[in-house]
């Protein structure tokens, strides 16, 4: 379990953030080992995931899953900032910009990268804006990823859409039912960026035999009001139709260009991929 002796105290909660009410983004930050969380978040993080499947199961498996997704994001962003020379990123439904998130990963390779984060939860946006207040090249927008045209209009104050952009949709599209048009969101985003731009995404994997995970997600839906749509690899690959998919293709998060010394518990299946606009 992480050492939270340096976590933000209740008196330091930013304007617009209620530290007494637990928040999903802050709970995720806590489980990743971050410090942008409060006692209410840590209490939920320690108790809410006792039935999470995996090995060893429970909250420790949640940490494994979160770190696998965040590590894959870091590898992709560093690849984009390094080999692909991408210098600007638009990260949708990002959660809090902490613990190796996009701007930190990009600037580890290219210090001048600009990043726009987007989240539609006001308290997350307020907290993110506070965390990034001293950084003129990183902006946090309070906006809904389901309205990409609004996001693109506002992000244009920071990003130059005549130059290639890295579009980050990690953990986003599995909240969009087929009837609500996830392809439209991607189409609107890609139409606004030039050739040479990239889109990266992660997505809950569908496994018809995985009854334990299905049951857990159903229960989480009841608690949060969110609806998680799990898709097969081929269904996620279709999001990249018309794009050049970067090797190794759509794979589980821990398999996207892993470090040679990768080992340890295996996370629950989540697809991950990167593709380039022609």
Q: Map residue 181 onto helix, strand or coil.
A: coil
User: What is the pLDDT confidence band of residue 115, given thresholds at 50, 70 and 90?
Assistant: very high
**How far apart, in whole angstroms, are the C-alpha atoms of residue 22 and residue 268?**
24
From residue 53, give the alpha-carbon distance in Å to each of 6, 82, 188.
Answer: 30, 36, 36
Nearest CA to 31 among 16, 8, 56, 49? 49
In sequence order, the 6+-apart residues with CB closer than 8 A to the CB of 153 are none
Q: What is the dotted CATH code of the domain comprising 58-276?
A: 3.40.50.150
Q: Name which of 129, 109, 136 is nearest 16 in CA terms.
A: 129
Query: Model confidence at 35, in pLDDT bands (50, 70, 90)?
Result: very high
- Note the pLDDT of residue 48: 87
Return the SS3 of 239: helix
The DSSP output letter for 175 is G
pLDDT the model gives residue 266: 86
| Domain boundaries, given as residue ranges, for the chain | 58-276
pLDDT of residue 6: 37
Number of H helices, E strands in the chain: 9, 8
Q: How far is CA 109 from CA 79, 81, 106, 155, 182, in A?
A: 9, 6, 6, 23, 31
Least confident of 9-23, 26-40, 97-111: 9-23
- Report CA-CA distances (Å) from 249 to 66, 200, 274: 21, 11, 7
Q: Give tens-digit pLDDT for 210-256.
A: 777 667 666 666 665 667 888 999 999 999 999 999 999 999 999 99
User: What are the backbone dihedrals phi and psi of residue 272, each rounded to the nearest 5 degrees, phi first?
Assistant: -150, 140
**At 10, is the pLDDT very low, low, confident or very high (cuts 50, 70, 90)?**
very low
């Amino acid at each position: 379990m992480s050492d939270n002796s340096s976590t933000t105290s209740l008196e330091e909660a930013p304007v617009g953030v209620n530290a007494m009410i637990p928040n999903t983004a802050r709970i995720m930050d806590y489980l990743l080992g971050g410090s942008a969380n409060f006692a209410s978040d840590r209490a939920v993080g320690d108790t809410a995931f006792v039935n999470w499947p995996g090995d060893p199961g429970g909250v420790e498996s949640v940490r494994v899953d979160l770190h696998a997704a965040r590590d894959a994001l870091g590898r992709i962003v560093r690849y984009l900032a390094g080999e692909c020379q991408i210098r600007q990123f638009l990260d949708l439904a990002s959660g809090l910009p902490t613990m190796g998130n996009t701007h930190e990963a990009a600037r580890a390779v290219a210090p001048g990268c600009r990043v726009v984060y987007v989240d539609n939860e006001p308290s997350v946006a307020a907290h993110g804006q506070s965390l990034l207040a001293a950084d003129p090249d990183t902006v946090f927008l309070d906006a809904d990823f389901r309205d990409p045209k609004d996001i693109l209009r506002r992000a244009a104050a920071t990003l130059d859409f005549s130059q290639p952009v890295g579009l980050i949709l990690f953990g986003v599209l599995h909240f969009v039912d087929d009837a609500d048009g996830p392809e439209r969101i991607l189409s609107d985003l890609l139409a606004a960026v030039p050739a040479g731009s990239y889109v990266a995404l992660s997505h809950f994997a569908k496994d018809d035999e995985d009854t334990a995970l299905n049951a857990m997600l159903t229960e989480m839906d009841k608690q949060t009001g969110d609806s998680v749509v799990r898709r097969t690899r081929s269904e996620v690959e279709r999001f990249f139709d018309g794009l050049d998919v970067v090797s190794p293709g759509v794979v589980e998060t821990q398999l996207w260009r892993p470090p040679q010394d990768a080992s340890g518990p295996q996370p629950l299946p989540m697809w991950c991929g990167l593709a380039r606009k022609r």
